[in-house]
Amino acid sequence: MTTIEPNARARIQVGILDHEQYARLGLAALLRRSGFAVVWEARTVAEASERMQARPPHHVVVDGGLGGDEGLGLDFVAATRPARPQARFVVTTSQRAGFKGMVRSASEVGADGFVAKAACAEVVTIDRVILAVEASGRCYCRQAQSVLDELQRFDPFAEFEPVDFAILAAKFTDPGLLAKEIAARLHLAETLVTTRKTRMLKKANCRKDTQLLQLAHDWWPFVRRRLRQHGHGDGRQVAAP
Is-above-0.75 flag for pTM? no
- Helical axes 21-33 vs 126-136, angle rounded to 10°: 60
Residues near 150 by Cβ (< 8 Å), separated by ≥ 6? 26, 30, 125, 126
State how far the Cα of 138 lies from the Cα of 23, in Å rounded to an integer.
23
Report strand pairing: 88-93 vs 113-116. parallel
Q: In the chain, pLDDT over 90 holds for what percent of residues?
A: 21
pLDDT at position 227: 79
Coil, strand, or helix at residue 1? Answer: coil
Q: What angle do CA 45, 49, 50 make, to 5 degrees?
A: 120
With 60 as the cut, is the pLDDT of residue 5 above it?
A: no
pLDDT of 146 reads 46
At 65 the pLDDT is 76
Could you give the residue ranges of the DSSP H alpha helices within the chain?
A: 6-10, 21-33, 45-54, 73-80, 99-108, 126-136, 147-151, 162-173, 179-186, 190-203, 209-218, 220-229
pLDDT digits (tens, 9 = 90+) for 52-78: 999 999 889 998 877 777 678 889 999
Domain boundaries, the chain: 6-153, 156-229
User: Measured between alpha carbons, how far is 96 from 109 in angstroms, rounded to an integer?
Assistant: 20
Residue 3's pLDDT is 46
pLDDT tens per residue, range 77-131:
999 988 888 888 988 876 655 566 777 787 888 888 777 655 433 344 666 677 7
Q: What CATH class is the domain 6-153?
A: alpha beta
Best CA proximity match to 121, nearest among 139, 97, 145: 145
The third-level CATH classification (topology) of the domain covering 156-229 is: Arc Repressor Mutant, subunit A (1.10.10)
CA 56 to chain centre: 21
Answer positive or negative: Cα dihedral of 63, 108, 37, 31.
positive
Query: Cα torsion at 32, 20, 219, 148 (round to 10°)?
Result: -70
Are 6-153 and 156-229 in the same CATH fold? Answer: no
State the Cα angle at 61 between 55 and 63, rounded to 5°.
125
- Pick from 43, 38, 53: nearest CA to 17: 43
Which stretches within 34-178 are classed as H helix?
A: 45-54, 73-80, 99-108, 126-136, 147-151, 162-173
Classify burial at 15, counting beta carbons within 10 Å of its beta carbon; exposed 0-12, middle 13-18, buried 19 or more: buried
176-210 confidence digits (pLDDT tens)? 899 999 999 999 999 999 999 999 999 888 888 98
